[in-house]
Structure formats: C-alpha cells, structure tokens
Amino acid sequence: MRTNPFGLLCRCAALFATLLFGVASIAGAAGAANAPVVVIAVSGAIGPASADFIVRSLARAADDHAQAAILELDTPGGLDLSMRSIIKAILASPVPVVSFIAPGGARAASAGTYIVYASHVAAMAPGTNLGAATPIQIGTSGAPKPEASASAASGTQAGESTETRKQVHDAAAYIRGLAQLRGRNAGWAERAVREAVSLSASEALAQRVIDLTAADIPDLLAKLDGRRVRTLTGEHVLATKGAPVITLLPDWRSRFLATITDPSVALILVMIGMYGLFFEFSNPGFMLPGVAGAICLLVGLFALQLLPISFVGLGLIVLGIGFLVAEMFLPTFGTLGIGGVVAFSIGALMLIDTDVPGFGIPVGVVAGLAIVTALFIFSVSAVALKASRRPVVSGSEAMLGSVGVMLGDEIHAAGESGWATVRGERWRVQSAGAHALPARGGKVRVTARHGLTLTVEVVNEATHATSCMGSE
C-alpha cells in the first residue's frame, strides 16, 4: 500500500496547527488568569473630581492590561457634564467595565443609573437600589401627580416649558440608546427618566436592568469568571476567579480637585482673593495680600468654571462687593453698605445653578460670609474715616499755623519781607499786615503760602507761651 506524500504532509500541518492553537489557548488563558482586576471605588456625588478620577483610573487599567475594571458605586447622582465624560470613557475603554452597586445600602440614583446602563456588565449587591434618573435641575418640583402620570410619560406634563420637555426627551433618548447598546431593559430606563422610578437589586435582575447580583467583590469575581464581554477591541473572556485585585484610591490631585470644587470652598476662595487684592490696592507694597489674593482668586475661578454656576448670581456677588467698597469712599450713611450685603447674599444663594445633592451652598455659609464681608469693609471704612480726621502733617496745609524764627538778614521795605526758618527750612516771609517783621530771633506764625513765599504775622510772646501751655 502506497502512502500519499501530499496527504501525509497535510495531516502533519493540521496536527501542527492544532497543537499551536492549543498552546496559544493555554497561554492566553494563563495570561488572562494572571491579569489583574482593577477596583475603582466611587462614593458621593458625581462631579468634576470623581469624573477625573474615574477617567484616569480607566486609562491606567488599560495601560496595566487589566482584564476588567470594577466601578464600585454609591452615589445620589451628580452633574450632567461629569456623568457624560465618565460614560464616554466607559464606551471607549478597551477594558471591560463592570458597574457594581455596593455595599449593601448603597444606591446609584440619577447619574449613577446612566453609568450602570453604559457599563459592559451591571451588578448589584443585596439591599441596594438604582433609578430616579430624572434630571434634577428640571425635576425639582417633586414626583409627577398621579392624575398627570399619563401625560408625564410622554413628557408633556401640564405646566412644563418647552425647554423642560426637550431636556426630558434628550435624557430619555440618551439612556434608551445605552440600554439598546448593552441589551438591557430600555422601557424601564425611560420610565426611570420620565417618572423617576427606582428598583431594588432583585427587581432589577428580574426586569433585565442588571446582569447579576453579588454579595461582595470576591463573589462578583467568581460570578464573572468565564463571562464573554465585547468591547471596542473585540470579545474578551473573563478569568476573574482568583485573579489579583488592585484597588485604586484617589490621589492628591483628585482630593485637591474634590476640595476646591466644593461650591462653598470655591466661593470662600473667591472672597479671600478679592479681600487680598482690595487690601493690596489700598496699601501698595505689602505684597503678601496681593500674592495670596491673586492665587486664591484664580483657583476659585478655576473651580467655578468646572461647576454649573449662574452668571447672574456671580454678577450680584461682584456688584455687592463693589457697593461695599464704594461705601468706604462715598458719604451714603450705610445705604451702599446695606445694599452690598443684600446683593452679595442673594448672589451667593443663586451662584450654583443646580439642585444636585452635594453641590449647594448652605445658607449658614452665605450668612457667615456676608457678616465677615460687612465687618471687614466697615472696619476698614472706620479706620479710613478716623485717619481722614487727623491733622495734616505734610504738604502745604501743614505749614499753616507753624511758628518760625526770623533770621534778620535782608529785611526789605521797612521790615515787610525777610527770611525765617520754619520747620527747619529757610523760607522767604512777608508781613501779613502793616506791622513790620521782628528783628533777628523774633517769632512769626505762618498764615498763608504763595509759592515759595510765606505770609506771616508777629507772634506775641505771652500769647504764644499761653497757647503752648494749653496744648500741653
């Protein structure tokens, strides 16, 4: 029996390819098993600081070739721009992103619901909830009335403005697109936006809003093992059981950004900056108030441009400070000062243009700043007023009433003009009336000044001595 060389060669090639594929699969599985899982803990309102932290953490997970990134969420919601930047990072991430609402008692409301829907895998711990995704700035009047639920479902509730309906439709379309992208319940997602409904963990699993439930991170990793997830780079098979876990914590940059983007801190920084610059302009040369004020003002303005501010509120704050400063220089008997305090207080309350939890300015902070500002301005005004009432110690006015001593040389025209020393300086003097100037060593008092010539009168020694004793 003859052996076909070509067939034998084909069988050897097929066997070699099978062996290669098996070795690659084993190596790939081993590599996936050794690849770490990155855990990103997110707690509190979603804002510029948390968005920056999540976006940079996802980029680091990609650089470290992690097999998955877990967003451990507990948030009441947040700002729209920050939420959208996080979702863009999730959709563009080559690493599968798992949103995990945990621990028990946590929630992912409002912006958190959008982030859960955008993630490749959504999970919840028992005792958690998600939903209430109506944009807060257009839903501050509370839940829709029962009789208006039908019209609310279509976004045409009575009393709603055109802008409100447009924003509701935009939010509903956005979350519906995310639901369709991930194959989740799009109908409930729209209800979460239009009717502000919420679900518990078991209800969310039953209605296909999430993919699984887990008690904690180790349980989640065990349930994710073997799951196939598709990202922009292709399909990934997770091998998370026993994988090393890397927990990322906010660094100094994230903590600093979180501090200055607190609306109360941003407002205080702006106020300190204005105080410093005002003090520097009033007292040139101190340097420290000007430098510190400029730094605080720039940092405060940087924080405000990251927040949803009302320019009307900011304008009222600046107008109020302007009124308080003008009170120092204009005799308005407190009218501008009181108006400045009122304008500043109203502007501070209006400054942040959102009702998202964690982004308001407490009334106590506004009242405290208004009181401190008023005390600062009125204190400076009192000091300036007191200084203006002091006797003049320099310039032409300071010469009036000064006593000089005649030198006795070059006295002309029957003693009507001559030279005298006044305040340690040599001045030409002339008589104020028909009286002749005294001889050398005689005393005269300045009554007027005309250029470099002083008009003087003779000082009676007895009267001068009495006035000196009285002044003592």
Residues 46 and 99 in one domain: yes
Q: Domain check: are 230 and 303 in the same one?
A: no
- Whether residues 203 and 283 share a domain: the answer is no
Are residue 312 and residue 350 in the same domain, yes or no? yes
Of 209, 224, 253, which residue constitutes the final position of a domain?
253
**Dihedral sign from CA coordinates of 403, 408, 414, 418:** negative
pTM: predicted TM-score of the whole model, two decimal places: 0.67
Cα separation, 194 vs 202, in Å, equals 22
Token reading at 191: 């209800």
Which stretch of DSSP H or E encloses residue 32?
Answer: helix 5-34
Do 205 and 116 share a structural domain?
yes
Res 380 pLDDT > 60: yes
Residue pair 137/357 in contact (Cβ under 8 Å)? The answer is no
Within 10 angstroms of residue 278's Cβ, the number of other Cβ atoms is 20
Which residues touch 59 (CB under 8 Å, ≥6 apart)? 89
Rounded Cα–Cα distance for residues 147 and 82 (Å)? 34
Q: Name the band, by pLDDT with cuts 50, 70 and 90, for residue 472.
A: very low
Dig out the tokens for 62 from the structure.
């990609």
Residue 176 lies in a domain: no
- State yes or no: pLDDT of 184 exceeds 80: yes
Q: What is the CATH number of the domain that holds 452?
A: 2.40.50.140
**103 is a domain residue:** yes
Digit-coded pLDDT (tens) for 13-71: 555 555 554 444 444 444 445 789 999 999 988 989 999 999 999 999 999 999 999 99
Domain count, the chain: 3
345 located within any domain: yes
Answer yes or no: do 233 and 111 share one domain.
Answer: yes
Examine the domain organization and report whether 450 and 326 are in the same domain: no
232-268 CB burial, b ≥16 within 10 A, e <16? eeeebebbbeebeeeebebeeebeebbebbbbbbbbb
Residues 103 and 81 in one domain: yes
Note whether 113 and 220 are same-domain residues.
Answer: yes
Owning domain of residue 232: 21-132+197-253
* Minimum mean pLDDT range among 191-200, 270-279, 329-338, 446-455: 329-338
Q: Token pair of 244, please?
A: 């090393």
Domain boundary residue among 388, 409, 442?
Answer: 388
Taking alpha carbons only, the member of 347, 198, 167, 182 closest to residue 270 is 347
Contacts of 407-412 with C-beta under 8 Å, sequence gap 24+, read 407/440, 408/439, 408/440, 408/441, 408/442, 409/440, 411/437
Q: How confident is the model at residue 414 (pLDDT cuts 50, 70, 90)?
A: low
Residue 201 within a domain: yes
Indicate whether 178 belongs to any domain: no
CATH number for the domain that contains residue 229: 3.90.226.10
Tracing tokens 């093992």 back to the chain, one arrives at 225
Which SS3 state, helix, strand or coil, does residue 231 take?
A: strand
Q: What DSSP element (H or E) covers 70?
A: strand 68-74
| Domain membership flag for residue 186 | no
| Predicted confidence (pLDDT) at residue 118 exceeds the cutoff of 90 | yes
**Residue 155 included in any domain:** no
Q: Which residues contact 420 (CB under 8 A, 6 or more apart)?
A: 404, 405, 406, 407, 426, 427, 429, 444, 454, 456
Cα(405)–Cα(396) distance, rounded to whole angstroms?
Answer: 19
pLDDT tens-digit profile of 79-102?
A: 888 999 999 999 999 999 999 999
Which residues contact residue 412 at a Cβ distance below 8 angstroms, ignoring those fewer than 6 apart?
418
User: Would you call 231 exposed, middle or buried from its count of C-beta atoms within 10 A (0-12, 13-18, 19+)?
Assistant: middle
CA count, 13 A, side-chain hemisphere, 117: 33
Q: For the segment 138-167, what is each residue's pLDDT rounded down to a tens digit?
A: 433 333 333 333 333 444 444 456 777 888
Kindly tell me if the per-residue pLDDT of 178 is higher than 90: yes
Q: How far apart are CA 310 and CA 349, in angstroms?
A: 10
Residue 426 lies in a domain: yes
Beta bridge partners of 445: 403, 457
Q: Which residue has the higher pLDDT, 47 or 441?
A: 47
- Average pLDDT on 416-428 reads 83
Q: Is the pLDDT of residue 10 over 70?
A: no
Q: For the chain, what is the mean pLDDT? A: 79
pLDDT of residue 24: 43
Identify whether residues 379 and 403 lie together within a single domain.
Answer: no
Domain boundary among the residues 234, 253, 272 is at: 253
Q: Indicate the Cα dihedral angle 26, 31, 34, 36, nearest 10°.
A: -140
Instruction: Write out the two tokens for 123.
Output: 């999970």
99 and 218, same domain (yes or no): yes
The radius of gyration of the chain's CA atoms, rounded to the nearest angstrom, is 40
Residues 6+ apart with CB under 8 A from 428: 417, 418, 419, 452, 453, 454
Query: What is the predicted pLDDT for the residue at 142?
Result: 39
Which is more confidently placed, 310 or 108?
108
Q: Are residues 245 and 321 in the same domain?
A: no
Cα separations (Å) of 216 from 39, 90, 376, 379? 12, 22, 53, 58
